[in-house]
Amino acid sequence: MNRREAVLGTASLAIFGSLLATRAKAGDRFEVTRSDAEWQGMLTKLQYKVMRREGTERPFSSPLDKTYAKGEYHCRGCDLKLYSSKHKYDSGTGWPSFYKAQRNAIGTKPDRIGLRVYTEAHCRRCGSHLGHIFDDGPNPTGKRHCINGVSLVFKEV
Protein backbone atom coordinates (compact mmCIF):
# COMPACT_ATOMS: atom_id res chain seq x y z
CA MET A 1 0.00 0.00 0.00
CA ASN A 2 1.41 3.39 -0.93
CA ARG A 3 0.93 6.68 0.90
CA ARG A 4 -1.81 7.88 -1.47
CA GLU A 5 -3.92 4.74 -0.94
CA ALA A 6 -3.50 5.01 2.83
CA VAL A 7 -4.61 8.66 2.87
CA LEU A 8 -7.60 7.99 0.60
CA GLY A 9 -8.60 4.94 2.64
CA THR A 10 -8.43 6.85 5.91
CA ALA A 11 -10.41 9.77 4.47
CA SER A 12 -13.06 7.39 3.11
CA LEU A 13 -13.44 5.69 6.49
CA ALA A 14 -13.74 9.04 8.25
CA ILE A 15 -16.43 10.27 5.86
CA PHE A 16 -18.38 6.99 5.99
CA GLY A 17 -18.20 6.90 9.82
CA SER A 18 -19.38 10.50 10.02
CA LEU A 19 -22.37 9.73 7.80
CA LEU A 20 -23.33 6.70 9.89
CA ALA A 21 -23.02 8.62 13.15
CA THR A 22 -25.23 11.42 11.85
CA ARG A 23 -28.01 9.08 10.70
CA ALA A 24 -27.96 6.89 13.83
CA LYS A 25 -30.73 7.20 16.40
CA ALA A 26 -29.44 7.65 19.93
CA GLY A 27 -32.56 6.40 21.73
CA ASP A 28 -30.75 5.94 25.02
CA ARG A 29 -30.32 9.68 25.48
CA PHE A 30 -34.03 10.51 25.42
CA GLU A 31 -36.41 10.62 28.38
CA VAL A 32 -39.00 8.46 26.60
CA THR A 33 -37.60 5.27 25.11
CA ARG A 34 -39.32 2.27 23.58
CA SER A 35 -38.15 -0.87 21.86
CA ASP A 36 -38.38 -1.03 18.10
CA ALA A 37 -41.25 -3.52 18.46
CA GLU A 38 -43.12 -1.13 20.77
CA TRP A 39 -42.75 1.73 18.27
CA GLN A 40 -43.97 -0.51 15.44
CA GLY A 41 -46.96 -1.58 17.54
CA MET A 42 -48.12 1.96 18.28
CA LEU A 43 -47.47 3.60 14.88
CA THR A 44 -48.74 3.02 11.36
CA LYS A 45 -46.18 1.95 8.76
CA LEU A 46 -45.88 5.51 7.45
CA GLN A 47 -45.61 7.02 10.95
CA TYR A 48 -42.90 4.50 11.83
CA LYS A 49 -41.01 5.17 8.59
CA VAL A 50 -41.05 8.93 9.21
CA MET A 51 -40.65 9.10 12.99
CA ARG A 52 -38.21 6.24 13.62
CA ARG A 53 -36.43 5.87 10.26
CA GLU A 54 -36.27 9.58 9.33
CA GLY A 55 -38.46 9.23 6.25
CA THR A 56 -40.72 11.87 4.72
CA GLU A 57 -44.42 11.83 3.94
CA ARG A 58 -45.59 12.92 0.49
CA PRO A 59 -46.11 16.69 0.19
CA PHE A 60 -49.74 17.87 0.42
CA SER A 61 -50.79 14.51 1.92
CA SER A 62 -51.30 15.67 5.52
CA PRO A 63 -54.59 17.31 6.52
CA LEU A 64 -52.56 19.24 9.11
CA ASP A 65 -50.94 21.23 6.30
CA LYS A 66 -54.17 23.21 5.88
CA THR A 67 -55.34 23.12 9.50
CA TYR A 68 -55.50 26.64 10.93
CA ALA A 69 -57.75 26.19 13.95
CA LYS A 70 -56.50 27.51 17.27
CA GLY A 71 -54.61 24.77 19.06
CA GLU A 72 -51.42 22.93 19.82
CA TYR A 73 -49.38 20.39 17.88
CA HIS A 74 -48.00 17.54 20.00
CA CYS A 75 -45.49 14.80 19.30
CA ARG A 76 -47.27 11.61 18.25
CA GLY A 77 -44.58 9.56 19.99
CA CYS A 78 -44.75 11.05 23.50
CA ASP A 79 -47.41 13.80 23.53
CA LEU A 80 -44.91 16.64 24.18
CA LYS A 81 -46.30 20.02 23.07
CA LEU A 82 -44.10 21.05 20.13
CA TYR A 83 -45.78 23.91 18.25
CA SER A 84 -48.57 26.43 18.71
CA SER A 85 -51.04 27.34 15.99
CA LYS A 86 -49.97 30.97 16.62
CA HIS A 87 -46.65 30.17 14.91
CA LYS A 88 -48.05 28.18 11.95
CA TYR A 89 -48.11 29.59 8.43
CA ASP A 90 -48.67 28.39 4.87
CA SER A 91 -45.24 27.93 3.33
CA GLY A 92 -46.67 26.45 0.13
CA THR A 93 -44.36 23.43 0.46
CA GLY A 94 -47.07 20.87 1.23
CA TRP A 95 -46.02 20.21 4.84
CA PRO A 96 -47.20 21.90 8.04
CA SER A 97 -44.80 24.80 8.63
CA PHE A 98 -44.02 26.85 11.71
CA TYR A 99 -41.65 29.75 12.27
CA LYS A 100 -41.09 28.92 15.93
CA ALA A 101 -41.22 25.85 18.20
CA GLN A 102 -42.28 25.74 21.84
CA ARG A 103 -39.47 26.35 24.30
CA ASN A 104 -37.36 23.24 25.03
CA ALA A 105 -39.41 21.05 22.68
CA ILE A 106 -37.21 20.46 19.64
CA GLY A 107 -33.78 18.91 19.32
CA THR A 108 -31.68 19.32 16.20
CA LYS A 109 -28.75 17.64 14.54
CA PRO A 110 -26.99 17.83 11.20
CA ASP A 111 -28.60 15.58 8.60
CA ARG A 112 -26.34 14.77 5.66
CA ILE A 113 -28.34 13.82 2.61
CA GLY A 114 -26.06 13.28 -0.35
CA LEU A 115 -23.57 16.13 -0.36
CA ARG A 116 -25.88 18.60 1.43
CA VAL A 117 -26.22 19.15 5.16
CA TYR A 118 -29.65 19.98 6.54
CA THR A 119 -30.87 20.71 10.07
CA GLU A 120 -33.01 17.79 11.23
CA ALA A 121 -35.67 18.50 13.86
CA HIS A 122 -36.71 15.83 16.34
CA CYS A 123 -38.72 15.67 19.54
CA ARG A 124 -36.31 16.39 22.37
CA ARG A 125 -38.14 13.95 24.69
CA CYS A 126 -38.49 10.79 22.55
CA GLY A 127 -36.23 11.48 19.58
CA SER A 128 -38.96 11.06 16.96
CA HIS A 129 -38.02 12.59 13.62
CA LEU A 130 -40.24 15.56 12.79
CA GLY A 131 -38.74 17.15 9.69
CA HIS A 132 -36.19 19.84 8.91
CA ILE A 133 -35.53 23.50 9.71
CA PHE A 134 -34.64 25.94 6.95
CA ASP A 135 -33.53 29.57 6.91
CA ASP A 136 -36.23 30.78 4.51
CA GLY A 137 -39.11 31.40 6.93
CA PRO A 138 -40.98 34.58 7.83
CA ASN A 139 -40.15 37.16 10.46
CA PRO A 140 -39.55 37.35 13.33
CA THR A 141 -37.31 34.23 13.26
CA GLY A 142 -36.59 33.72 9.56
CA LYS A 143 -36.92 29.96 10.18
CA ARG A 144 -39.19 27.41 8.52
CA HIS A 145 -39.83 24.28 10.54
CA CYS A 146 -41.03 21.97 7.75
CA ILE A 147 -42.73 19.18 9.69
CA ASN A 148 -44.22 15.85 8.66
CA GLY A 149 -47.88 15.86 9.68
CA VAL A 150 -47.77 12.16 10.61
CA SER A 151 -45.35 13.04 13.42
CA LEU A 152 -47.90 15.40 14.98
CA VAL A 153 -51.20 15.24 16.83
CA PHE A 154 -53.30 18.43 16.70
CA LYS A 155 -55.25 19.37 19.83
CA GLU A 156 -57.78 22.13 19.38
CA VAL A 157 -58.13 24.61 22.25
Catalytic residue list: 146
> Which residues, including other chains, have CB under 8 Å from residue 115's CB and lie 6 or more apart?
none
- The 10 Å Cβ neighbour count of residue 28 is 7
Element spanning 10, H or E: helix 3-23
Coil, helix or strand at residue 47: helix
Backbone φ and ψ of 49, nearest 5°? -60, -45
The answer to whether the beta carbons of residues 137 and 147 sit under 8 Å apart is no
DSSP state of 29: G
* 3-class secondary structure, 1: coil
Q: Rounded distance, CA 56 to CA 3, Å?
A: 42
